[in-house]
A and B are shown apart, each in its own frame.
Chain A
Amino acid sequence: MPQELNYLKQTASQTAGPYVHIGLAPGAAGFDIYRQELGWDIAGPNAKGERIRIEGLVIDATGSPIKDVLLEAWQANADGIYAHPEHPGEVEEGFRGWGRVITNFETGEWGFDTIKPGPVTDLNGKVSAPHISLWIVARGINIGLQTRIYFEDEAAANAADPVINTIEWEKRRATLIAKKTERDGKTVYRFDVKLQGEDETVFFDI
């Protein structure tokens, strides 16, 4: 059978369920097991660029915050370089660009500290506006949801961003823009995710 296609089939996704914390953030489940949990420091101590915080809620179709969500962030450094061998360029020692965060069990609020990423030049030369990829899993989410956080104060770059411009409905583009606020002299961006209903966040098939 020389013409047989020998591709394997993808392993199917299943929900992370309500107890995802045990595996990915055991301290929050209520016990101490690992020498260190992964994903609490996205940028590391040596990262250049503006230190920022991003906060938000994940909101369901009824308008209620979801309290058992886990989110992972993936971003470039301030020079727009990803910490990965396929992206040419160097990142600071200790910069991973990846983090994970869980929601507060009582309020559903989540937040992480990082540095603001720079614009990214893709291998084909296209430039994207500064952004952070966000992957969202929880009980009731059958396959992880992918979205992107862009920044309100990057209006010109956002207007030229190839991904934002892929979204046919201009009104929905606003769901990807984090709102800039300030607290104690520090920049805090607000990014609420709406899973369904009015102003539903744009999710991507990547």
Chain B
Amino acid sequence: MKPGPYYQWDRRLHPPAKTPDYKTSVSRSPQYSLISLETSINEMTGPRFGHNDIDPLDNDLLGNYAKPGESPIGERIILHGRVLDENAKPIPNTLVEIWQANAGGRYRHKKDTYLAPIDPNFGGCGRTLTDENGYYYFRTVKPGAYPWRNWVNDWRPAHIHMSIFGSAFAQRLITQCYFEGDPLIPRCPIVQTIPDPDAIEQLTAKLDYNGTIPLDTIAYKFDIVLRGRRSTLFENRLEGN
């Protein structure tokens, strides 16, 4: 059996392009339907990364921007989990990149002007490669909620943005990780672009008490599932099998 084409995007659980409650999507959403393609070699391949591309400390947001002997303000957390496909097969050696606001809800970005202060010891980005079992982890602080311009009073729940490559361009994904129990999740127009409540639940990292390091860092578990792929048992034959 050879690995074959990827399973389709499950469009019932991904957000549609146009979601008027998230206003910016209205003018940035295609109005025509997507054209469906047979998976070709172009999508079954994708960029690969190695340990020369990144540094071992890149996954430590508690340390990767802090001055020597200092550390960022906020609740110290570990965010960890596995990158899997729909067949529950781990995806090894794939690049995971994250970015987030600091504990006060402020981004280190020249376009962010929120009242909360910049933390001099916090950059807000990290990256890592999954190991041979698809496992990844980051150390960081729990981000704060922040207000944004949509309706007159909208606040984003605490979240970490995540970018994942997978093993093929067909799997390329950007998403956001939320935290269990946040009362802003059901009120957020961006979260609620997702039509399937179970899919929202799946974007919520769970407190992992066993993963917690006593007197040091609270752990949250967040597994990521990318499209799986079919095995080619038989070649398609036009005349039928």
Residues in chain A within 8 A of chain B (CB atoms): 6-24, 26, 29-31, 33-36, 38, 60-62, 66, 68, 72, 74, 76, 82-84, 86-87, 96-98, 105, 120, 122-123, 126, 128, 131, 133, 135, 137-146, 163, 166-167, 172, 195-197, 200-206
Contacts and interface: CB of A to CB of B under 8 A. Distances in A.
B111 A18 contact: yes
The 5 closest A-B pairs by CB, nearest first: A23-B99, A140-B24, A98-B47, A84-B45, A140-B28
Given A15-B190, A38-B53, A120 B42 contact: yes
A128 B174 contact: no
A16 B224 contact: no
Nearest to A105: B111
B166 to A, nearest CB: 11
Nearest to B124: A22
A17 B124 CA distance: 15
Contacts of A142: 14-17, 19, 22, 25, 29, 193
B17 A33 contact: no
Interface string B1-44: 00100001111011111010010111111111011110111111
Given A14-B15, A206-B170, A84 B46 contact: yes
A96 B98 CA distance: 22
Contacts of A206: 37, 39, 43, 169-170
B86 interface: yes
Contact of A8 (B8, B86, B95, B170): B86
A97 B122 CA distance: 33
B121 interface: no
B202 interface: yes
Contact of B65 (A33, A66, A122, A204): A33
B172 A72 contact: yes
The binding surface of chain A is classed by DSSP as: loop
B225 interface: yes
A93 to B, nearest CB: 13
Contact of B42 (A19, A30, A133): A133
Given A7-B87, A14-B176, A141-B25, A74 B42 contact: yes
A205 B187 CA distance: 30
A137 B193 CA distance: 16
B23 to A, nearest CB: 8
A105 B193 CA distance: 26
A204 B34 contact: yes
Interface stretch (B68-76, B102-110, B207-215): B102-110
B31 A200 contact: yes
Given A19-B107, A83-B48, A9 B10 contact: yes
A86 B41 contact: yes
Interface in B39-96: 39-49, 53-55, 58, 64-65, 84-88, 95
Contacts of A30: 108-110
Contacts of A201: 30
Given A20-B161, A138-B28, A133 B169 contact: yes
B182 interface: no
A16 B31 contact: no
B41 A123 contact: yes
B145 interface: no
B31 A196 contact: yes
Nearest to A74: B169
B134 interface: no
Residue with the greatest number of chain A CB neighbours at <10 A, chosen from B34, B87, B191 = B34
22 contacts: A10-B13, A11-B199, A14-B15, A33-B65, A60-B27, A66-B28, A76-B42, A83-B48, A84-B48, A86-B44, A86-B45, A120-B41, A133-B42, A135-B169, A141-B25, A142-B15, A142-B16, A144-B174, A202-B32, A203-B32, A204-B34, A205-B36
B46 A74 contact: yes
